[in-house]
Structure 1
Amino acid sequence: MSLETPPPLDKLLMSPPFQRCRHEAARTANDPAALSSLLEKVAAHEFGIGPLPDTQGGIDIDIACAVVDAHIADLTGGTTTNPVADARCRLVVAALHYLVDMNDVIPDNLPSGHVDDVAVMRWATRVARGEVPAE
């Protein structure tokens, strides 16, 4: 596998690192303090190329963070969310955990260590927008 191209998305989503992030998301999805801490890690995270800005290619980290911010507001405000929204949020939280995980499929300290993260975040953006099912 080239470090320039991420593995296919289905392999990334089934990889042990992403599965670990899904478990972490399930554990933290209803903990406002843990979610706030995750958002702080996302804002501070750097890759081998430095910070990863939103791109025209559609990763929209801000959309993923806004989904988590809204979920935190629901949790702290006592608002009940629907199961589909909760499932989407857990997948977005898993993707954000993956984004800041230094031990993902392509280590972030490598110059091309961001390509797998970009692929996962593009997928998470589509999940957040409701373009793909929350499975």
Structure 2
Amino acid sequence: MSVTPEGPSGHLTARPEVVRRLLQSEPFARSRRRAELIDGDHDAMSELVDLVRLRHVEEDVHLAPIAGLVEETLTWLATPEVAGDQSPSVTARRRMAIAALNYLYDVDDVIPDDRRDGTIDDFVVLQAVLSRSMGGPRH
């Protein structure tokens, strides 16, 4: 997987074809299917939030640069305006954010998380999806 530092801050970024392959992968498709089940189910959403927080993103060498984005997404998803908005646009963005968060704790994703570089794919998915999911108009 090609992930390289970019910009003066040295943040990592993936080539577009890498992002595309990950978002078209079976593990991410599995996360999207799960997101449809989680969306609107308060208990399932609470469980996902707990699982994401247990990952301690801020302590992972690959994920730490986007820990703030993960936390901002959890906050965004919890706002009543977003959680209750059933418009197609907000529903699609909300479900993509849920899918990306679900991918984070899927140990059987594209690069298994027990490998030394196992969270690089998680980083790419989270960075690509979460920044876009919240990028639309916020209520």
TM over 0.5: yes
Q: Which has the higher strand share?
A: 2
Q: Which residue of 1 aligns with 2:54?
A: 44
Shift of the 74–67 alpha-carbon distance from structure 1 to 2, 3 Å rule, reads closer
Gaps of 5+ in 1: none
Q: How many residues align?
A: 125
Q: Which of 98, 101, 110 pairs up with 2:106?
A: 101
Taking structure 1 as the reference length, the TM-score comes to 0.76
Q: Which has the higher contact order (CA 8 A, sep 6+)?
A: 1
Shift of the 80–65 alpha-carbon distance from structure 1 to 2, 3 Å rule, reads closer
Mapped contact 2:82–2:94 kept (Cα < 8 A): no
Shift of the 60–122 alpha-carbon distance from structure 1 to 2, 3 Å rule, reads same
Which ranges of 4 or more aligned residues in structure 1 deviate by more than 3 Å? 1-7, 49-54
Q: Which of 21, 30, 37 pairs up with 1:20?
A: 30
Question: 2: CA distance between counterparts of 1:114 and 1:59?
Answer: 16
Shift of the 52–36 alpha-carbon distance from structure 1 to 2, 3 Å rule, reads farther
Q: Which residue of 2 aligns with 1:123?
A: 128
Question: 1: CA distance between counterparts of 2:102 and 2:23?
Answer: 13
Gaps of 5+ in 2: 5-12
Shift of the 117–59 alpha-carbon distance from structure 1 to 2, 3 Å rule, reads farther
